Structure 1
């Protein structure tokens, strides 16, 4: 079981590396790691388990956060309409994105960042992603809003980017052009 002790924190150089593509078909070890990543997210959102194992709640996790420099992400969240999103993806890639951007009013957080970093993180409002599921089958996703933000955050991890890299350094709460606020948490 993955716990907070397994998650590396900012300052670790692995978080700044571009992760390697996973050779498909994935190994059983890689598939198991992806399943464990999803299980962590589920556990972290379960109040009793989170308290018992001292887990911080998360909606997404990327393999580099576990010191595994491979292109693997897991997502587990519900949007404001109650729609459930649950993904285990190998080699996710954004293939198109909207001109319109959004941001979370309360900013973003990260399991690998133990401090609050105030500021707006602009993200594309809509994205199309192609990836592979644990069985090696191609996956195409069209995402908007909160799920799109989460997937972009995790794909950033695969490219050595942390969310605060996207915050305007001179004016963290400046709203850039083509940006609308997204109130979901």
Structure 2
């Protein structure tokens, strides 16, 4: 089980590395890691488990955040936040995206960042993605809103990019024309 002590924090060099593709068939170690990533986000959204194990709530976590530079992450949203999506994405990619942008009104957070970083993080409002599941089967899906933002946040982790790299320090809350504003904030 992944705990907060297993999640590396900003400044750690692994967070700035481009992660490596994961070979198939998955090794037992890679399969276990992918399952543990999903288990973390599910457990972190359960109030009792989060309190018991001192887990910070998150909707996504990427392998580089637990010091494994491999291209995999997990996302989990349940109906309580208006979404219903649970996935492990291995070797994911964005194959198309909208011109329209979206951002979280309250800004983004990250399990690897222990401070608030004010500012808007513009993302694509809608994306079409492809990734592989645990059995090496490719899947394709369209995402919008919060799941699209979280997917892009996790993709950044696989490419050594942190969410605050997208924030203009001189103008952290710019007017973003023709963008969808999504309420609430999230950690990934």
Aligned residues: 185
What's the CA shift string for 1:133-178, capped at 9, x where partnerless? 0000001010001100010000000000000001122100002344
**CA RMSD, 1 decimal:** 1.3
What's the CA shift string for 1:97-154, capped at 9, x where partnerless? 1110000000000000000000000010000111100000001010001100010000
Match of 2:160 in 1: 160
Separation in structure 2 between the aligned mates of residue 80 and residue 55 of structure 1, nearest angstrom: 18
Separation in structure 2 between the aligned mates of residue 81 and residue 62 of structure 1, nearest angstrom: 21
SS in 2 for 1:172: coil
> Residue 182 of structure 1: CA displacement?
1.4
Work out whether 1:68 is the aligned partner of 2:57: no
Match of 2:21 in 1: 21
Structure 1 regions of 5+ residues with no counterpart? Answer: none
Match of 1:151 in 2: 151
Match of 1:6 in 2: 6
Separation in structure 2 between the aligned mates of residue 5 and residue 71 of structure 1, nearest angstrom: 21
User: Given that residues 59 and 150 in structure 1 are in contact (C-alpha distance below 8 angstroms), is that contact kept between their aligned partners in structure 2?
Assistant: yes
TM-score norm. by structure 2 comes to 0.94
> Residue 179 of structure 1: CA displacement?
2.2
TM-score norm. by structure 1 comes to 0.96
What's the CA shift string for 1:67-126, capped at 9, x where partnerless? 000000100013687331100111000111111000000000000000000000001000
Structure 2 regions of 5+ residues with no counterpart? Answer: none
